[in-house]
Amino acid sequence: MKRFDSKIYTHIFFLFILSLSYLIPLLIFGKLTTAYHDNLDSGVVYNHIIGKIFNGELLNANIFLGGEIQTYYLRHFFKPFVAIYSLFESETAFFLNEVIVKLIAYISSFVLFKKFNKNYFFVCLCSSIYASSFSFSTLGYGLSFFPYVVYLSLFKNKLTLKHYFLLIFFGLNTDAVADIFFIPITLIIIYILKENIKINILKTLKILIIFFSFSILTSSNILFVHLFGETMHRTEFINFENDNNFFFGWSYLIENIFKHIVSFLSIPTNLDFTFFTKLPVSILLVPSLLIAILEKKNSIVKKITLSLIMIYLFLFIEKLYMNTSFFSSIGALRLSWIEMYLPFFYVLLFFILLINVSLPKIKLLIFFGLISLFTFQVKHSSVPLIKKFYLKEENYRNIYTFDGYYLYEDYKKISQIVKNKRVVSLGYDPLVAVMNGISTIDGYHALYPLSYKKKFKKMIQNELKENEVLKKYYENWGSRVYAFIDDPKNIKIDFIEAKKLGAEYVISKYIVNSQEVSLISDQFVNRIILYKIN
């Protein structure tokens, strides 16, 4: 009974630490915050619109990008987890889904690590760190379920009905594109951990095939678009004729090799947003690698370290070739997505060291592990905390909260004015309008027709001529279909072209001196000026 209580208290302790990522911002700001506003500028809006479609409030995805986005372009339209956005208000749905992702990761890791060691403190500590390591919760459950797939492959000789159900359910809720490396990484981890374990390779392949087949099933709309739909903008992701050719890539890597190594090790170098996102990983990884160097006799530690080196080399090569046309035919894929699996390698290395090294090293690892875990929980609040209370930015808007990012009050007024007309946004995220039920011609879209990219370029081409960085950003990537501004005091957007794309109004952060638009209102809580295109 005493042992059972100890397990319960250990779980409660670490689950409480995980809850601090929500309790701390609630206490400081009175609102929940995200660690990345990138969660809000695309994925949440897409899921919000899918929820509206599921509820019959919208008939299609016409609200996006001048009506050029078809419903089947919506990345997670067939993923069951998105249904949560049809059941709850979007902010509730987002954070509830984030909690689910963390709990799945915690339980999956716990089940796997417990097979190697019965020390519940070690197991729960590592499970908590892994559950805290996710940057995005809008991509489904693949990464969080990953440890359980490894567990099944290593320790379950015979699959039961429960195992099949879990593989199918989580497969349906996994993004086959983002998790393209799921199978090879699983096989690598199995190879690392298979010491003294008899592996049935056929059973392992069956597990992976079942899981990934159902992932492909609910990602079939994206595959259909790439195989049979019109040409997508992603085919121009890599422009062979730009300056960053093969030879430039080599010199760039040689000149910046230290910077890349620091980046791969997640060591923060500047006191900015990335500092707080990299810091928790760095606190965990750097001491682990230093101790790993001393543990030369441990074969698992050697394999993990070698695997990390191989992944780093792969990423070096990916950076070398990313600017050639080599991968343009499979532009839907980003080879850098393999980085999403690095946190598991880091936590695995940390865990194997914990259960194998001497007591002084264990104490050192636990110290850094707990610091890392706590730092993960406060990273949600660190940037807005510094901007609001330390830098004391004037009229600070917390873009890490739903209210701060989506400006519900102001956009409600805008919606009453523009009604069912389309808008274009200057200086504000265009999908803020979509989140507030306003149709747009711009936005952040992972998948849209190349023909629209070229039409939209006519509207912003005068701005792109003034700024080579923005020009390459749009031409060589282009997922952010934004009305880019080089100089807010001299706006050169072609509003007539914007009207051809369907825009009737302009939501602007800046004063627009152009005969092509007329002022409608500037009476908003935030610095917003609404114009009508003449």
| pTM score | 0.91
pLDDT at 13: 94
pLDDT at 423: 98
Report the chain (534 residues): mean pLDDT per 10 consecutive residues. Answer: 64 95 92 83 94 93 94 93 96 96 97 94 96 88 96 94 97 91 94 87 94 95 84 72 43 57 63 70 90 88 92 75 45 72 95 95 96 92 80 80 95 96 97 97 94 96 94 90 96 96 97 95 95 96
DSSP helix, strand, coil percent of the chain (3-state; round to 5): 65, 5, 30
Residue with tokens 């092509």: 516
pLDDT at 345: 96
Cα distance between residue 516 and residue 514, in whole Å: 5
Cα distance between residue 178 and residue 141, in whole Å: 11
Q: Where are the domains of the chain?
A: 20-390, 407-533
Q: Encoding tokens for residue 258?
A: 């230290």
| CA dihedral over 445, 450, 451, 454, signed as positive or negative | positive
Among the listed residues 526, 199, 534, the one whose alpha carbon sits nearest the alpha carbon of residue 395: 526
Question: End-to-end alpha-carbon separation of the chain, Å?
Answer: 77
Q: Encoding tokens for residue 373?
A: 């875990």
Among the listed residues 143, 128, 141, the one whose alpha carbon sits nearest the alpha carbon of residue 81: 141
Cα distance between residue 424 and residue 460, in whole Å: 12
Report yes or no: 76 and 175 within 8 Å, Cβ to Cβ: yes
Q: Tell me: the pLDDT tens digits for 86-135?
A: 999 999 999 999 999 999 999 999 999 999 999 999 999 999 999 999 87
Among the listed residues 180, 183, 174, the one whose alpha carbon sits nearest the alpha carbon of residue 219: 174
Report yes or no: 326 and 238 within 8 Å, Cβ to Cβ: yes
pLDDT at 335: 72
Residue 445 is classified by DSSP as -
Cα distance between residue 387 and residue 398, in whole Å: 9
Phi (first) and psi of residue 481, to 5 degrees = -85, 80
Cα distance between residue 88 and residue 477, in whole Å: 34
